[in-house]
Amino acid sequence: MTATPLVSIGLPTLNSGQFLAPRLESILRQTIRDWELVGIDGHSTDGTFETLQELAKRDPRVRVSQEPKDGIYPNFNRCAERARGKYVYIATSDDTMAEDCLEKLVAALEANPECDIAHCPLRVIGPDGGDGHNWWQSQSIFARSSGDWLERRHKRIAPLDGLLCLLGDNVYSSVTQLLIRRTLFEKIGYYRSDWGSVGDFHWNLRAGLVASSVHVPDTWASWRMHDGQATAAARLGSKAHEEKIDSMIADALRNLPSDSAELPRGVVSRADNLRTFLREFERRSGPVSRKAYAMSAALKGSQSALSYFASLIPGRRRWPRHAPESVLSWMNRSIAPAS
Protein backbone atom coordinates (compact mmCIF):
# COMPACT_ATOMS: atom_id res chain seq x y z
CA MET A 1 0.00 0.00 0.00
CA THR A 2 1.52 3.33 -1.04
CA ALA A 3 1.95 6.17 1.42
CA THR A 4 -0.44 9.11 1.33
CA PRO A 5 1.06 11.88 -0.85
CA LEU A 6 2.57 14.75 1.07
CA VAL A 7 0.59 17.99 1.17
CA SER A 8 2.31 21.30 1.80
CA ILE A 9 0.00 23.65 3.69
CA GLY A 10 1.08 27.27 3.30
CA LEU A 11 -0.01 29.57 6.12
CA PRO A 12 0.66 33.28 5.41
CA THR A 13 0.06 35.43 8.50
CA LEU A 14 0.11 39.06 9.58
CA ASN A 15 -1.38 39.96 12.96
CA SER A 16 -3.72 37.00 12.61
CA GLY A 17 -4.24 36.39 16.32
CA GLN A 18 -8.01 36.98 16.26
CA PHE A 19 -8.66 34.00 13.99
CA LEU A 20 -5.45 31.96 14.26
CA ALA A 21 -6.64 29.40 16.81
CA PRO A 22 -9.55 28.02 14.73
CA ARG A 23 -7.36 28.02 11.61
CA LEU A 24 -4.63 25.99 13.32
CA GLU A 25 -7.22 23.66 14.80
CA SER A 26 -8.67 23.04 11.33
CA ILE A 27 -5.19 22.05 10.12
CA LEU A 28 -4.27 19.85 13.08
CA ARG A 29 -7.58 17.98 12.85
CA GLN A 30 -7.21 17.03 9.19
CA THR A 31 -7.88 13.34 8.62
CA ILE A 32 -4.87 13.18 6.31
CA ARG A 33 -1.73 13.17 8.47
CA ASP A 34 1.08 13.31 5.92
CA TRP A 35 1.41 17.07 5.63
CA GLU A 36 3.85 19.85 6.35
CA LEU A 37 2.95 23.36 7.46
CA VAL A 38 4.95 26.23 5.98
CA GLY A 39 4.19 29.31 8.06
CA ILE A 40 5.28 32.66 6.61
CA ASP A 41 4.72 35.61 8.93
CA GLY A 42 5.00 39.27 7.91
CA HIS A 43 6.45 40.49 11.24
CA SER A 44 3.24 40.37 13.28
CA THR A 45 3.08 42.41 16.47
CA ASP A 46 0.19 40.58 18.15
CA GLY A 47 1.88 37.32 19.13
CA THR A 48 1.02 35.44 15.93
CA PHE A 49 4.62 34.48 15.15
CA GLU A 50 5.28 33.38 18.71
CA THR A 51 2.24 31.09 18.51
CA LEU A 52 3.60 29.55 15.32
CA GLN A 53 7.04 29.10 16.89
CA GLU A 54 5.53 27.23 19.83
CA LEU A 55 3.65 24.95 17.44
CA ALA A 56 6.87 24.28 15.50
CA LYS A 57 8.59 23.18 18.73
CA ARG A 58 5.83 20.63 19.37
CA ASP A 59 5.30 19.37 15.82
CA PRO A 60 8.22 18.55 13.49
CA ARG A 61 5.93 18.94 10.46
CA VAL A 62 5.83 22.70 11.06
CA ARG A 63 8.36 25.17 9.63
CA VAL A 64 7.99 28.91 10.24
CA SER A 65 9.85 32.07 9.29
CA GLN A 66 9.39 35.82 9.23
CA GLU A 67 9.64 37.69 5.97
CA PRO A 68 9.25 41.32 4.84
CA LYS A 69 5.81 42.86 5.20
CA ASP A 70 5.29 43.20 1.46
CA GLY A 71 1.79 41.92 0.84
CA ILE A 72 -0.33 38.79 0.79
CA TYR A 73 0.70 37.48 -2.62
CA PRO A 74 4.46 37.50 -2.01
CA ASN A 75 3.74 35.36 1.05
CA PHE A 76 1.47 33.06 -0.97
CA ASN A 77 4.45 32.63 -3.29
CA ARG A 78 6.93 31.97 -0.49
CA CYS A 79 4.64 29.25 0.82
CA ALA A 80 4.47 27.62 -2.61
CA GLU A 81 8.18 28.05 -3.36
CA ARG A 82 9.20 26.38 -0.11
CA ALA A 83 6.69 23.56 -0.44
CA ARG A 84 8.16 20.07 -0.59
CA GLY A 85 4.89 18.27 -1.13
CA LYS A 86 3.28 16.94 -4.25
CA TYR A 87 0.32 19.22 -3.59
CA VAL A 88 0.02 22.77 -2.23
CA TYR A 89 -2.82 24.19 -0.16
CA ILE A 90 -2.85 27.89 0.82
CA ALA A 91 -4.54 28.17 4.22
CA THR A 92 -5.45 31.83 4.61
CA SER A 93 -5.18 32.59 8.31
CA ASP A 94 -8.73 33.80 8.95
CA ASP A 95 -10.49 30.81 7.37
CA THR A 96 -11.10 27.14 8.19
CA MET A 97 -11.98 23.88 6.42
CA ALA A 98 -13.71 20.57 6.99
CA GLU A 99 -11.65 17.88 8.73
CA ASP A 100 -11.72 15.71 5.60
CA CYS A 101 -11.02 18.54 3.16
CA LEU A 102 -7.43 17.74 2.26
CA GLU A 103 -7.95 13.97 2.29
CA LYS A 104 -10.76 14.19 -0.24
CA LEU A 105 -9.03 16.76 -2.45
CA VAL A 106 -5.85 14.65 -2.52
CA ALA A 107 -7.84 11.53 -3.39
CA ALA A 108 -9.52 13.38 -6.26
CA LEU A 109 -6.22 14.50 -7.78
CA GLU A 110 -4.71 11.04 -7.34
CA ALA A 111 -7.68 9.52 -9.17
CA ASN A 112 -7.59 12.17 -11.91
CA PRO A 113 -3.92 12.73 -12.83
CA GLU A 114 -4.89 14.80 -15.86
CA CYS A 115 -6.20 17.49 -13.48
CA ASP A 116 -3.91 19.98 -11.72
CA ILE A 117 -6.50 21.54 -9.39
CA ALA A 118 -9.00 20.01 -6.99
CA HIS A 119 -11.84 22.34 -5.99
CA CYS A 120 -14.42 22.12 -3.22
CA PRO A 121 -17.54 24.10 -2.21
CA LEU A 122 -17.19 27.34 -0.27
CA ARG A 123 -18.85 27.80 3.10
CA VAL A 124 -19.31 31.48 3.94
CA ILE A 125 -18.92 32.26 7.65
CA GLY A 126 -19.15 35.41 9.75
CA PRO A 127 -16.58 36.94 12.12
CA ASP A 128 -17.72 34.62 14.92
CA GLY A 129 -17.50 31.48 12.76
CA GLY A 130 -21.26 31.11 12.36
CA ASP A 131 -22.90 30.56 8.99
CA GLY A 132 -23.00 33.64 6.81
CA HIS A 133 -25.01 34.45 3.68
CA ASN A 134 -24.33 31.53 1.35
CA TRP A 135 -24.02 33.52 -1.87
CA TRP A 136 -21.52 31.04 -3.34
CA GLN A 137 -24.08 28.24 -3.74
CA SER A 138 -26.36 30.27 -6.00
CA GLN A 139 -24.57 33.41 -7.15
CA SER A 140 -20.97 32.41 -7.85
CA ILE A 141 -19.94 32.02 -11.46
CA PHE A 142 -18.70 28.51 -10.63
CA ALA A 143 -22.12 27.46 -9.33
CA ARG A 144 -24.00 29.10 -12.19
CA SER A 145 -21.79 27.39 -14.77
CA SER A 146 -22.08 23.99 -13.09
CA GLY A 147 -25.86 23.60 -13.05
CA ASP A 148 -26.80 20.08 -11.98
CA TRP A 149 -23.13 19.15 -11.75
CA LEU A 150 -22.59 21.31 -8.65
CA GLU A 151 -23.57 18.46 -6.31
CA ARG A 152 -21.66 15.83 -8.31
CA ARG A 153 -17.97 15.13 -8.65
CA HIS A 154 -16.91 16.26 -12.10
CA LYS A 155 -13.96 17.32 -14.21
CA ARG A 156 -13.84 20.72 -15.86
CA ILE A 157 -11.77 20.47 -19.00
CA ALA A 158 -9.32 23.31 -19.73
CA PRO A 159 -9.72 26.02 -20.89
CA LEU A 160 -13.30 26.14 -19.49
CA ASP A 161 -12.55 27.79 -16.13
CA GLY A 162 -10.25 30.29 -17.82
CA LEU A 163 -12.90 31.21 -20.37
CA LEU A 164 -15.38 31.75 -17.55
CA CYS A 165 -12.91 34.21 -16.00
CA LEU A 166 -13.07 36.18 -19.26
CA LEU A 167 -16.55 37.24 -18.15
CA GLY A 168 -14.73 39.41 -15.59
CA ASP A 169 -15.35 37.45 -12.39
CA ASN A 170 -13.40 34.85 -10.44
CA VAL A 171 -14.45 31.29 -11.18
CA TYR A 172 -12.54 30.17 -8.06
CA SER A 173 -14.00 32.41 -5.37
CA SER A 174 -11.36 31.66 -2.72
CA VAL A 175 -7.90 30.10 -2.69
CA THR A 176 -9.10 28.03 0.29
CA GLN A 177 -11.18 25.95 -2.14
CA LEU A 178 -8.14 24.78 -4.09
CA LEU A 179 -5.59 22.01 -3.75
CA ILE A 180 -2.96 22.64 -6.40
CA ARG A 181 -0.54 20.18 -7.97
CA ARG A 182 2.82 21.79 -7.25
CA THR A 183 4.02 21.37 -10.82
CA LEU A 184 1.32 23.80 -11.97
CA PHE A 185 3.28 26.66 -10.39
CA GLU A 186 6.30 25.58 -12.45
CA LYS A 187 4.15 25.71 -15.58
CA ILE A 188 2.33 29.03 -15.19
CA GLY A 189 4.29 30.86 -12.48
CA TYR A 190 3.28 32.32 -9.14
CA TYR A 191 0.96 35.08 -7.95
CA ARG A 192 1.74 38.65 -8.95
CA SER A 193 1.43 41.45 -6.43
CA ASP A 194 1.13 44.40 -8.83
CA TRP A 195 -2.65 43.91 -9.24
CA GLY A 196 -3.41 44.67 -5.59
CA SER A 197 -5.75 42.66 -3.36
CA VAL A 198 -7.59 41.04 -6.30
CA GLY A 199 -4.46 39.66 -7.96
CA ASP A 200 -5.63 36.09 -7.42
CA PHE A 201 -7.96 36.66 -10.40
CA HIS A 202 -4.90 36.87 -12.66
CA TRP A 203 -3.47 33.57 -11.38
CA ASN A 204 -6.87 31.85 -11.50
CA LEU A 205 -7.38 32.98 -15.09
CA ARG A 206 -3.98 31.69 -16.19
CA ALA A 207 -4.52 28.41 -14.35
CA GLY A 208 -8.02 27.92 -15.74
CA LEU A 209 -6.85 28.41 -19.31
CA VAL A 210 -4.28 25.61 -19.12
CA ALA A 211 -5.24 23.32 -16.22
CA SER A 212 -8.24 21.01 -15.92
CA SER A 213 -9.81 20.78 -12.48
CA VAL A 214 -11.85 18.26 -10.51
CA HIS A 215 -14.75 19.41 -8.32
CA VAL A 216 -15.23 17.56 -5.02
CA PRO A 217 -18.70 18.37 -3.65
CA ASP A 218 -18.68 16.40 -0.40
CA THR A 219 -16.37 18.57 1.68
CA TRP A 220 -15.85 22.33 2.12
CA ALA A 221 -13.53 25.21 2.88
CA SER A 222 -14.59 28.52 4.39
CA TRP A 223 -14.38 32.20 3.58
CA ARG A 224 -14.75 34.33 6.67
CA MET A 225 -16.40 37.67 5.89
CA HIS A 226 -15.11 40.47 8.13
CA ASP A 227 -14.05 44.09 7.86
CA GLY A 228 -10.33 43.38 8.08
CA GLN A 229 -10.01 41.04 5.10
CA ALA A 230 -7.81 42.02 2.17
CA THR A 231 -10.65 42.32 -0.35
CA ALA A 232 -12.76 44.62 1.85
CA ALA A 233 -11.27 47.73 0.22
CA ALA A 234 -11.05 46.36 -3.33
CA ARG A 235 -13.98 48.47 -4.63
CA LEU A 236 -15.45 45.50 -6.46
CA GLY A 237 -17.67 46.56 -9.35
CA SER A 238 -16.16 50.02 -9.64
CA LYS A 239 -14.85 51.40 -12.93
CA ALA A 240 -11.30 51.18 -11.58
CA HIS A 241 -11.83 47.53 -10.66
CA GLU A 242 -13.21 46.73 -14.11
CA GLU A 243 -10.21 48.38 -15.77
CA LYS A 244 -7.88 46.32 -13.59
CA ILE A 245 -9.74 43.14 -14.55
CA ASP A 246 -9.44 44.03 -18.24
CA SER A 247 -5.71 44.63 -17.82
CA MET A 248 -5.24 41.28 -16.10
CA ILE A 249 -7.16 39.50 -18.86
CA ALA A 250 -5.07 41.15 -21.59
CA ASP A 251 -1.84 40.33 -19.77
CA ALA A 252 -2.79 36.67 -19.19
CA LEU A 253 -3.76 36.15 -22.83
CA ARG A 254 -0.50 37.72 -24.02
CA ASN A 255 1.60 35.47 -21.80
CA LEU A 256 0.13 32.01 -22.10
CA PRO A 257 2.63 29.15 -21.67
CA SER A 258 4.13 28.11 -25.00
CA ASP A 259 2.71 24.59 -24.71
CA SER A 260 -0.85 25.75 -23.97
CA ALA A 261 -3.68 24.29 -26.01
CA GLU A 262 -5.02 26.66 -28.65
CA LEU A 263 -8.16 28.48 -27.54
CA PRO A 264 -11.33 27.76 -29.50
CA ARG A 265 -11.59 30.10 -32.47
CA GLY A 266 -13.23 33.44 -31.77
CA VAL A 267 -13.90 32.86 -28.08
CA VAL A 268 -11.80 35.77 -26.83
CA SER A 269 -13.72 38.36 -28.86
CA ARG A 270 -17.02 36.69 -27.94
CA ALA A 271 -16.07 36.81 -24.27
CA ASP A 272 -15.04 40.46 -24.55
CA ASN A 273 -18.41 41.34 -26.07
CA LEU A 274 -20.29 39.34 -23.47
CA ARG A 275 -18.33 40.93 -20.61
CA THR A 276 -19.07 44.42 -21.94
CA PHE A 277 -22.76 43.67 -22.33
CA LEU A 278 -23.07 42.21 -18.82
CA ARG A 279 -21.39 45.23 -17.25
CA GLU A 280 -23.53 47.76 -19.08
CA PHE A 281 -26.67 45.76 -18.38
CA GLU A 282 -25.95 45.63 -14.64
CA ARG A 283 -25.23 49.37 -14.52
CA ARG A 284 -28.83 50.14 -15.53
CA SER A 285 -30.93 51.03 -12.50
CA GLY A 286 -34.12 49.09 -13.25
CA PRO A 287 -35.82 46.57 -15.58
CA VAL A 288 -37.11 49.22 -18.00
CA SER A 289 -33.68 50.79 -18.40
CA ARG A 290 -32.07 47.37 -18.79
CA LYS A 291 -34.50 46.26 -21.46
CA ALA A 292 -33.99 49.54 -23.31
CA TYR A 293 -30.24 49.01 -23.26
CA ALA A 294 -30.64 45.41 -24.42
CA MET A 295 -32.94 46.50 -27.26
CA SER A 296 -30.43 49.10 -28.40
CA ALA A 297 -27.64 46.51 -28.28
CA ALA A 298 -29.75 43.95 -30.16
CA LEU A 299 -30.46 46.44 -32.95
CA LYS A 300 -26.69 46.83 -33.30
CA GLY A 301 -26.34 43.06 -33.72
CA SER A 302 -25.22 42.09 -30.22
CA GLN A 303 -25.50 38.31 -29.84
CA SER A 304 -25.50 38.78 -26.07
CA ALA A 305 -28.55 41.02 -26.28
CA LEU A 306 -30.32 38.56 -28.56
CA SER A 307 -29.60 35.79 -26.04
CA TYR A 308 -31.13 37.94 -23.33
CA PHE A 309 -34.38 38.38 -25.24
CA ALA A 310 -34.48 34.68 -26.12
CA SER A 311 -34.31 33.90 -22.40
CA LEU A 312 -37.57 35.79 -21.81
CA ILE A 313 -39.50 33.08 -23.65
CA PRO A 314 -41.52 31.09 -21.08
CA GLY A 315 -39.66 28.00 -19.92
CA ARG A 316 -36.21 29.37 -20.75
CA ARG A 317 -33.60 29.97 -18.04
CA ARG A 318 -33.32 33.68 -17.30
CA TRP A 319 -30.34 35.50 -18.77
CA PRO A 320 -27.90 37.19 -18.08
CA ARG A 321 -27.94 35.29 -14.77
CA HIS A 322 -27.22 32.11 -16.74
CA ALA A 323 -24.79 33.74 -19.17
CA PRO A 324 -22.00 31.33 -18.04
CA GLU A 325 -23.94 28.60 -19.84
CA SER A 326 -23.10 30.41 -23.08
CA VAL A 327 -19.42 29.87 -22.35
CA LEU A 328 -19.96 26.13 -21.98
CA SER A 329 -21.53 26.09 -25.44
CA TRP A 330 -18.31 27.46 -26.96
CA MET A 331 -16.50 24.21 -26.20
CA ASN A 332 -17.21 20.77 -27.60
CA ARG A 333 -16.46 19.14 -24.26
CA SER A 334 -16.21 21.10 -21.02
CA ILE A 335 -17.61 19.08 -18.09
CA ALA A 336 -17.30 15.33 -17.59
CA PRO A 337 -17.76 12.78 -14.79
CA ALA A 338 -14.74 12.33 -12.53
CA SER A 339 -13.35 9.29 -10.78
pLDDT along the chain (339 residues), means of 10: 72 96 98 96 97 97 95 95 97 97 97 98 91 91 95 96 96 97 96 93 97 98 79 67 95 90 87 95 94 96 93 88 89 90
Which residues sit opposite 128 in a β-bridge?
none
pLDDT of residue 62: 97
- In the structure, how many helices (H) and strands (E) does the chain have? 14, 11
pLDDT of residue 2: 44
Query: 267-283 vs 303-311: helix axis angle to the nearest 10?
Result: 60
Domain ranges of the chain: 95-339
Contact status, residue 141 vs residue 171, Cβ threshold 8 Å: yes
